[in-house]
Structure 1
Amino acid sequence: MKRSLKIGLTLMALGAVLFGVGWMNHGDKAVVWSKSTRGFKTIQEVKRSYHPGDYQRIVVDSQAPVTIKAGNTNRVTVSYMDGDTSLPKTNVAKGTLTIKGGVSTSHLSVSIFSVSDRTTTNGGVLVTVPRDKKLDSIVVKKGSGSLSLRELQAKQVTIENADDINLYALRVDQNIMAHSTDGDVYADHVRAKQLRVNTDDGDMSISNCQLTATDNQFVTSDGDIRLSTSRLGGGRVDTADGDISLQSNRITQKLKARTEDGDIHANIAKSAGAKVASQDDDMSDITVLGKHHHSGYWLRREAKSQYQLTTDDGDVRVADEAD
């Protein structure tokens, strides 16, 4: 009890000191511990913004967070912590806007104790593309940081590797390919011919998307996958260690879903069929429309739209959508 009280009083004293340092420097600014000076100092967010030249492609090769969105202007904004010399560089050459350099916020050499949330965009780059502009391509190189693409039009999107990926309201003529080594992937209201998402260690959520191809792909080595309220030709949903949730989708042909170690829950249209199987009949539980099965089951095998659901070690639940 005494030890907890001492820790609490120490944290209260530290908070008061940090608040005082920030307030004495003209307001509620964030305070950091600098390893170079071995002392506290206040920081503030600094922004550089400019209108770039004409471009048809965007290439991202930066560990810093990058957001590219549609807007009513055409600007590039780089935000950073004052005194930070490792800023992302942006330039336009031969019709390509390139974002290069910078460091990930997780690798900063200071520890931040913030009494204000105004520095949360530290190290980031914001590109605003005119709403009516269609890009030829967006390419994100391996080793890039977190990425957000919002309300953009493009012919092709290729994300070779990034941290957390957020795709919102994209209109892509051809394919979107996205890979993350150690991050989550979210896609919402995306229209494209094909979407292929791979993560090594992360969850993914795909919702409200329209994907015409029959070979869409959502694969993770370690994470959960949720596919909901989307229309797609078909494809593959696969996780080595995680659960799969399929909710209120519309498929024109076949969607295969498999988990090696996890459960599958699927709410499907009453016009769709589902072939359900488990590789471990002794330990797994299969429930289709409220009835239990132990050796697999094929619901509405004559249906044109088919789900193929398989788990090596887990339970499978299939239900019709509610009216």
Structure 2
Amino acid sequence: MKNNAATAQGSERLTGRIKGRGTVQNDAGRFERFTRVAADDGWDSPENDLPVLRTQVTCEQVTNAVTRNTSPDVPFDRSLNPYRGCEHGCIYCFARPSHAYLGLSPGLDFETRLIARPNAAHALEREFRRPSYTPDVLAIGTNTDAYQPIERDRRIMRGVLDVLRRFRHPVAIVTKGSLIERDIDILGDMAADRLASASISITTLNAKIARTMEPRVPSPARRLQIIERLASAGIPVRVSVSPLIPGLTDHELETILQKAHDAGAVAASTISLRLPGEVSDLFQDWLARELPGYATKVMARVRQMHGGRDYDSTFGHRMRGQGVHADLMRRRFKSACKRIGLTEHLQRLRTDLFMRPTQDGDQLSLF
């Protein structure tokens, strides 16, 4: 029996139709009671007869667009995600396990069964108009990328930015997508009032590794160009060398920082590779398939940084790791930033400009 590539119950390795995808696995999510395993039943079913694996998008209406956060590991307390799942297909993405909560697989489903939130801008405006709302920096792109390919047609992020500009609300964006250049007009206006900043993620400068590790992400050279174009428009840009993969990409740290600075970045950050939940198996399978010569070295370093485990979720350790190698990476990062002229933090965005624009039916002030 042929399994549907877009169903979470398929645990087969779909090697015949993974072009442009980060993984070949589609194991059932950890909350599912049943799973299916592909087996040879004696019938000849060439992989070429299987349908092409295409992206499917469904929509959900959200009541609250803003997600609150209390983690001590991140510098923001609220975020917004226009999409669930991400077509970029980065094999290391720490957000993959979130698809299991939807009854979908963190594997191929995460890349191919996406959920769009078309009313995100409307829900955000409703949130801003609540008398109890107090403004602070809104983070976008911290879970899945708002500028993934489907944004070109959906334009949900464009609508969100329009709301943010009208309310003069600060926003910090993290992305790998070149689609952010489409919105330079809005972001440039906001940045002039210190209301917008952007972080561009660059994991490696090796185009070959990037293509298989981040299959639908612009090339490293293209991402440096994004930094240049945003910076030229007056938008403060930070380069995020994340995730830094020990034994594979960590040797590029200083070079990435230098090239990003040359392109116009003024700040930098880095986060070590994180392998929560299902991500560990997916990443290790990718290593074994694509870079078998690195597999043992990379995982040995990862475990060294996480107390002998694939991942340590303890606050304070999960994003940095611990031990000799983690300490070395932190020292190298700080030293390189100081030498190159990059700060570790962008200038704080303003919250005092927030205002609620009038709408039909509002009582206007006489003063």
Q: Give the strand-richer structure, 1 or 2.
A: 1
Higher Cα radius of gyration: 1
Q: Same fold (TM over 0.5)?
A: no
- Bigger RCO (CA 8 Å, 6+ sep): 2
